[in-house]
Homo-oligomer: A and B are copies of this chain.
Amino acid sequence: MPTPFTADGWPIATCLHGVPTTASSGEPLHEASDEEWSKALRLVASVGFGVAELADSHARIGDMSPSRLLELKAVFAENGIIAPSVHVQRKSVIEPGKGEENLAYAHRTIDAAAAWGMEVVSTGLHQPFTAAQRRALWFWTEPGPRDPDDPEIWALAVSRLRQLGRHAADVGLELSLEMYEDTYLGSADDAVRLVEAIDLPNVGLNPDIGNLVRLHRPIEDWRLAYAKTLPYANYWHIKNYNRDEAAGLTTSTPSTLEQGIINYRQVISDAVSGGYRGIFLMEHYGGDSLGVCATNREYVRDVLAHAVAEVNRAEAQASAAH
């Protein structure tokens, strides 16, 4: 963070859900030309973003040659976009039958992120969608894979994530673990238990409580969930949802940060006053993801201005008291 501490330069990044994973040429964006990538990045820049999270839905940097990696970084730079973080999606290191393969891929991704000059590698324990999830309008309305109630598998998760964390530390990166239902990171208590067991200073949580409040089942109170997990946060996927519950029935739909059930004005203020200094990652599913992420970026910028002013005020008072 710069000194004096301000909200202006704080990195507020977008997810790439709003960018098609298939180029207009028909090939996966991962394999597409610089021209196709420039087109994708112009779209990102057109809504005012200069910071993006590179998810492996769009580019698997762990599977790229070193030269291609730097070429792609240069294309980002040409289009005015920096990518300080990579997100490894649905590649659980304890996915049955694929854990070791996913672990090796995560290691390669850490090396690639370091070569790129990133700051954060984000991942989690969620697994690929079931067929029912792929058919659903919203995948979260169908149950997905569930981590087993098995201490040995849990210990394996701790051990492999600690291994990734050490690797990340060796190359100067943070490792952030995303909260996601029905995994060992599926509740505030479980997430804290896991990250405490890993017990490394550069391994923290991505308290994506938005993943939980959209579920069509009883949910934790988001206030408590954030209070428990924010002290461990080192990266943050932020999204919000409208939600109704009555007569045993739940509905939820994606919303802007301002309009959904989580009070991000309060939560972001609490995070900043509690010491959070990480990236804010705007995430949104459905419809115009990029547009809503841009709307949310302005919202977070506005909320941060007051939160930072309050921290600066408190510090000035503390200084004056000495």
Q: Which residues of A contact B (CB under 8 A)?
A: 18, 20, 39, 42-43, 46, 136-138, 141, 216, 240, 242-247, 249-266, 286-292, 295, 299, 303, 305-306, 309-310
Contact = CB atoms under 8 A, between A and B. Distances in A.
B287 A260 contact: yes
Given A246-B141, A306-B46, A262 B287 contact: yes
B259 A251 contact: no
Contacts of A295: 258
A20 B287 contact: no
So how many copies of this chain end up in the complex?
3
Contacts of A243: 137, 253
A261 B189 CA distance: 33
A288 B257 contact: yes
Contact of A263 (B18, B242, B250): B18
A249 B249 contact: yes
Contact of A306 (B43, B240, B288): B43
Contacts of A43: 306
Contacts of A292: 258-259
Contacts of A289: 263
Nearest to A267: B288
A18 B299 CA distance: 16
A245 to B, nearest CB: 4
A265 B244 contact: no
A181 to B, nearest CB: 15
Q: Counting chain B CB atoms within 10 Å of each CB, which of A20, A259, A261, A287 scores highest?
A: A287
A245 B137 contact: yes
Contacts of A299: 291
A259 B255 contact: yes
B265 A288 contact: yes
Contacts of A244: 137-138, 141, 251-253
Contacts of A264: 287-288
Contacts of A216: 246-247
A263 B246 contact: no
17 contacts: A46-B305, A136-B246, A137-B245, A138-B244, A138-B246, A141-B246, A141-B247, A242-B242, A242-B253, A246-B250, A258-B291, A259-B287, A259-B288, A259-B292, A263-B288, A264-B287, A265-B290
